[in-house]
Amino acid sequence: MRRAHTVDQVRTAEAAVLAVLPDGALMQRAAHGLAYAVLDLLGSAYGRRVLLLVGAGDNGGDALYAGAVLARRGARVEALLLSEHAHPGGLAALRAAGGRVVAAVGTPPEVVVDGIVGIGGRPGLRPEAVAALAAVADVPVVAVDLPSGVDVDTGELAGPHVRAAVTVTFGTLKVAHLVDPAASACGAVHLVDLDLPLPAAPVEALQAPDVARLLPRPASDAQKYTRGVVGVRAGSPRYPGAALLSVAGASSGLCGMVRYAGDPGVGDRVRAAHPEVVGPGRVQAWVVGSGTDDRAAGELAAALADGVPLVVDADALAHVARPLPPTTVLTPHAGELSAMLGAERAAVEAAPLAHARQAADSYGCVVLLKGRHTLVAEPAGRVRVTTTGVPWLATAGAGDVLGGLIGALLAAGLDAFDAASVGSWLHGAAATLASAGGPLVAGQVAAAIPDAVRALPLG
């Protein structure tokens, strides 16, 4: 599990460690980890040109001490000070190692180390920092802890900010490393472990071993009914493909049976494509909404009347009333969530974490907000972020497959939060396999789900 903590949590943990470690020990660990990450990017040290952009406080100190490590290995290290309060110990160490302070950017460096603003900084950058970054606009940046200018605890952006090739963070991930739009500015994130005594994290991201542990697997004496039955109410004469794709996601083998209970005419096409799918009957979970057009309200009401867990997607989202049963998973994209909350779409896209949490509280159930890094929020405030997937996954019908997949996991026995987050992870992993670096369509994602499961480590 990748866990992301808030600034207050990190500071409390650091204070506990600093109380027992020698002075400066924690910063030296961070600086050496940062220096080695820069070396990995450059490939070598001797004669390579490194520019440190240094602000006030410990963040700038990390950059200066790392610069000293690089200078001792033969790199040509220069520091541009963007504050009169640069870390004095770090500055002395850099000079002693042969690095130097410059008043402006001279010969273009090969890498820039962003030590402008630490985790306590406010979003946005001062003009002198913006000007310095503009002078090295085409040079890869290694960010210290976070790209300067992003909001650490929300993942939001508010003005100019660094866009890094690599971000080296210390002790733990922070929320902005996982949550967009800030996460998109982090590049590759490298974590330097500092053995901090950290509490439970408010934001986390499943990894393959977590998915393998959570995934329902059939017992030796399983039969189709004990493995769970999911019902699908999707599609319409206008959008038959939504039914086919929802059923494809549901019938990927993760539960025992799929029932189709949508439009009768569409049902013939569903069963022709998926002969294992049967008609209406008792289910342990419902998937409702995709492509239901003017049938959406009725299909939602029928699914709710059963009193079983359900996934609500697409057209049915316009008909949900609050509060919903806590076993419900809502799967909106930003436009759909904006309508549900009465907010502007741009506002949702600028602050997805805040809006996903607001929706989960408002509707009393799990909300999966689709995006580059999909968010799964529960009313208690816990959030999981999906980091699997490829840009090619932005294709028509992919959300229909996702809804069916989550419904199958609900029917198989996962709770709403786990079903949504495991389903989203598998959906992204399947897309990565199906894409193999190139374009794909939604049906290929559904077909690759079994391969994504087979690729999981053994539990």
- pLDDT tens, position by position, 231-288: 999 999 999 999 999 999 999 999 999 999 999 999 999 999 999 999 999 999 999 9
- The answer on pLDDT for 459 being more than 80 is no
CATH superfamily of 208-454: Ribokinase (3.40.1190.20)
Mean pLDDT of the chain: 96
Contact call for residues 169 and 138 (beta carbons, < 8 A): no
* pLDDT class of 224 with cuts at 50, 70, 90: very high
Q: How much is the pLDDT for 414? A: 98
- The answer on pLDDT for 180 being more than 90 is yes
**What is the spatial distance between Cα 184 and Cα 83, in angstroms, rounded to a whole number?**
27
CATH 3.40.50.10260 correct for 2-204: yes
Between the CA of residue 283 and those of 224, 231, 287, 309, what are the distances in Å?
12, 6, 10, 10
- The answer on pLDDT for 122 being more than 90 is no
Q: How much is the pLDDT for 121? A: 81
Residues 441-458 pLDDT 10s: 999 999 999 999 999 998
* pLDDT class of 19 with cuts at 50, 70, 90: confident
* pLDDT class of 74 with cuts at 50, 70, 90: very high
CB atoms near residue 167 (< 10 Å) = 28
Q: How much is the pLDDT for 113? A: 98
* pLDDT class of 18 with cuts at 50, 70, 90: confident
The burial class, CB within 10 Å (0-12 / 13-18 / 19+), for 307 is exposed
Residues 266-276 pLDDT 10s: 999 999 999 99
Domain definitions of the chain by residue range: 2-204, 208-454
Residues 325-368 pLDDT 10s: 999 999 999 999 999 999 999 999 999 999 999 999 999 999 99
